[in-house]
Chain A
Amino acid sequence: MEITARSLWTLIHGMGFGALYLMACSGALVELYRRYCTHNPALPTERDARFLRIYLVAMAALAWLAVFTGAYIVYPWYRAVPPPGTANLAAFPQRLLMASPTTSGWHSLGMEWKEHVAWIAPISITMAAGVVLEYGRNLKNHPQLRNAVLGFVWISLLAAGVSGFFGAMINKNAPVEGGPVIHIVQGEQK
Chain B
Amino acid sequence: MSAQNASASAISSARPNGAGAAAILAAGIGAFLVAVFAILADRFPAIKSMMIFWKPTGPLSGVTTCAIVFWIASWAVLHARWRNRNVALARVNAAAFALLIAGLLLTFPPIADLF
Contacts and interface: CB of A to CB of B under 8 A. Distances in A.
A43 B11 contact: yes
Contacts of B2: 41
A109 interface: yes
A124 interface: yes
Interface of A is mostly: helix
B34 interface: yes
A156 B11 CA distance: 29
Interface residues of B, number: 49
A55 interface: no
A134 to B, nearest CB: 5
A65 to B, nearest CB: 14
Interface in B69-115: 71, 75, 89-90, 93, 96-97, 100-101, 103-104, 107-110, 112
A28 to B, nearest CB: 15
Given A134-B23, A135-B20, A144-B90, A43 B8 contact: yes
B60 A127 contact: no
A130 B23 contact: yes
Q: How large is the interface on A (under 10, 10 to 19, 20 to 34, 35 or more residues)?
A: 35 or more
Contacts of B7: 43
A113 B109 contact: yes
B51 interface: no
B94 to A, nearest CB: 10
A35 interface: no
A123 B100 CA distance: 10
A13 interface: no
A57 interface: no
Contacts of A144: 17, 89-90, 93
Interface stretch (A68-76, A84-92, A175-183): A68-76
A41 B11 contact: no
Given A127-B23, A151-B97, A138 B12 contact: yes
A34 interface: no
A71 B14 contact: no
Interface string A102-120: 0000001100110111011
A127 B27 contact: yes
Contacts of B97: 148, 151
A134 B11 CA distance: 13
A105 to B, nearest CB: 10
A140 B63 CA distance: 36
A5 interface: no
Closest A-B pairs by Cβ, 10 of them: A76-B56, A141-B12, A127-B27, A116-B107, A144-B89, A145-B20, A123-B30, A117-B107, A112-B109, A120-B31
Given A119-B64, A131-B20, A152-B100, 12 more contacts: A71-B60, A71-B64, A113-B109, A116-B34, A138-B12, A138-B15, A142-B15, A144-B90, A145-B20, A148-B96, A152-B27, A155-B31
